[in-house]
């Protein structure tokens, strides 16, 4: 009976570790996909193409749940006992993480333009300043610069999440 309960405990530990590995891989894939979407947005030539690319970006929305699951796993493995505090602090960070930017993108022919809006990953102080200044300084000359900056931020995020290792 002891060996059966020991095998179940080992199996549960392996399953939890495999689940955390999957969540971490999902978070990395989501960030990489988002970076790819912003890169493709840079080259969109029509409103329809932009909308289709944006819709494809919805697949990358697995980042937040995956990161929350990984954070909870790491928190519990380090002896954390109040997961409510963890999720409360993650919610505050999540609320401050995105800034909405509305801007006008002119087509190559300059005959048509479209008002577009996007959520750009950022922080509460530095991000809005960087994205705002980038947009205001480049909107007349190259309005797609904001996508390059967003892609760069996501590449940085991917690089940083690549350093996360599960114990």
Instruction: Give tens-digit pLDDT for 147-159.
Output: 888 888 888 888 9
| Token reading at 104 | 């006008």
The reported pTM is: 0.68
Evaluate whether 153 touches 121 at the Cβ level (below 8 Å).
Answer: yes
Which residues lie below 8 Å from residue 150, measured CB to CB, with a gap of 6+? Answer: 38, 118, 120, 121, 131
**Residue-wise pLDDT tens digits, 133-148:** 888 899 899 888 888 8
- Alpha carbons 75 and 118: distance in angstroms, whole number: 32
Q: Which residue has the higher pLDDT, 98 or 93?
A: 93
Instruction: Return the percent helix, strand and coil in the chain, to nearest 5.
Output: 70, 10, 20
Is residue 95 very low, low, confident or very high in pLDDT (cuts 50, 70, 90)? low
Q: What angle do CA 137, 103, 58 make, to 5 degrees?
A: 120
**Residue-wise pLDDT tens digits, 104-123:** 343 343 333 444 444 445 45
Is residue 32 very low, low, confident or very high in pLDDT (cuts 50, 70, 90)? very high
Dihedral sign, CA of 148, 154, 157, 158? negative
Query: What pLDDT was estimated at residue 94?
Result: 65
- As a residue count, the chain comes to 167
CA–CA distances in Å: residue 64 to residues 96, 107, 117 = 14, 33, 21
Segment 97-105 shows an average pLDDT of 43
**Residue-wise pLDDT tens digits, 43-73:** 888 889 988 998 888 887 888 888 888 888 8
């Amino acid at each position: 009976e002891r060996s059966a309960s020991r095998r179940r405990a080992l199996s549960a530990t392996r399953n939890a570790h495999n689940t955390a590995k999957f969540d971490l891989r999902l978070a990395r894939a989501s960030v990489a996909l988002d970076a790819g979407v912003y890169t493709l947005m840079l080259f969109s030539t029509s409103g329809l193409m932009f909308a289709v690319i944006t819709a494809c970006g919805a697949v990358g929305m697995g980042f937040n749940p995956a990161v929350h699951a990984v954070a909870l796993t790491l928190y519990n493995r380090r002896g954390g006992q109040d997961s409510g505090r963890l999720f409360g602090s993650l919610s505050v960070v999540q609320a401050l993480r995105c800034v909405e930017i509305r801007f006008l993108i002119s087509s190559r022919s300059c005959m048509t333009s479209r008002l577009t809006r996007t959520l750009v990953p950022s922080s509460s102080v530095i991000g809005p300043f960087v994205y705002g200044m980038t947009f205001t300084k480049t909107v007349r000359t190259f309005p797609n610069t904001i996508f390059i900056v967003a892609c760069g931020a996501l590449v940085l995020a991917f690089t940083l999440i690549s350093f996360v290792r599960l114990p």
